A and B are shown apart, each in its own frame.
Chain A
Amino acid sequence: QVQLQESGPGLVKPSETLSLTCTVSGGSISNYYWSWIRQPPGKGLEWIGYIYSSGSTNYNPSLESRVTISVDTSQNQFSLKLTSVTAADTALYYCARVGGYRGPFGYWGQGTLVTVSS
C-alpha cells in the first residue's frame, strides 16, 4: 500500500521560503505524477502543481512565479518550495499521487500545517 508523508517546518516567517518534502513508501516514485495541494484553515482545496518522476512540471499559474517542485527518485521523495510567503500561504499542505496523466489524486499524505508568522 502506497503511503505518503509530508515533512518540514511548521512555522515560516513572512518573506521567507516554505520548504516541504513528501516521502513515498510502499511503492516507487518512478512513472507516476506527484502533486502538492493546500487548504487554508476552514477553506477549500487549492492545487499547487505536479511533477512527473522524470522531472517535468506543471504549476498553478497563480503561484507559478513562487513555486518549485522537484523530485529525488533515489530517495523516493519529492519536494515543494514556495518563496516570498505571506500570511495568505498559511495552510495545510498535502502531497498526493496522481493516477496517471490527468488522473485523480488517489493517494494522499496526512497533511502538514504550515503557519506564516513572524
Chain B
Amino acid sequence: DIQMTQSPSSLSASVRDKVTITCRASQNITTYLNWYQQKPGKAPKLLIYAASSLHRGVPSRFSGSGSGTDFTLTISSLQPEDFATYYCQQSYSTLWTFGQGTKVEIK
C-alpha cells in the first residue's frame, strides 16, 4: 500500500495568512495526487488534480505543487470560507489512498 502522510494534522491561522500543507507519499506516485476540501457535514470537494491543476471554479488562491513523493497545497491568502479539513489522495497504485487530513482552524 502507498501511505500518504499529511503535515501538520492541524493548524491555526488568521484570515489573509499564507497556509501551506504538505503531503508525502511512501513511494513515487509521479503526479497522481489530488487535493480535496471538506467542511463539516459536507462531502469533500476537489480543489487540485494531477498535483498542480486547479479544478474549475476553485479560487486561484489555491495552488498545488510537487511530484514524486512530496507535494504541497498552498492557500495564498486564507479566507473565512477556507476553514475546513484538507485531504490529499493518490491514484497511482491500484489501491487508492487518502492522507489523514489537515484541519485548518481560525486563530
Residues of A within 8 A of B (CB): 44-47, 50, 58, 60-61, 94, 99, 102-106, 108-111
Contacts and interface: CB of A to CB of B under 8 A. Distances in A.
Given A104-B91, A105-B34, A106-B55, A47 B96 contact: yes
B49 A108 contact: no
Please list the 10 inter-chain residue pairs (A to B) with the smallest Cβ-Cβ separation, ordered nearest first.
Answer: A104-B34, A108-B43, A104-B49, A102-B91, A47-B96, A45-B98, A44-B101, A44-B100, A104-B46, A106-B46
Contacts of B87: 44-45
Interface in B41-60: 42-46, 49-50, 55
21 contacts: A44-B87, A44-B98, A44-B101, A45-B44, A45-B98, A46-B98, A47-B89, A47-B98, A94-B43, A94-B44, A104-B49, A104-B55, A104-B89, A104-B91, A105-B34, A105-B36, A105-B89, A106-B49, A108-B43, A108-B45, A111-B43
A94 B43 CA distance: 8
A4 B55 CA distance: 18
Given A102-B32, A105-B34, 6 more contacts: A44-B87, A44-B100, A45-B44, A60-B96, A105-B89, A108-B44
Interface string B2-31: 000000000000000000000000000000
Q: Which residue of A45, A47, A111 has the most chain B CB atoms within 10 A of its CB atom?
A: A45
B106 to A, nearest CB: 19
Interface string B78-94: 00000000010101101
A47 B34 CA distance: 14
A104 B43 CA distance: 14
A99 B94 contact: no
Contacts of B49: 99, 103-104, 106
A114 to B, nearest CB: 15
A109 B89 CA distance: 18
Contacts of A60: 95-96
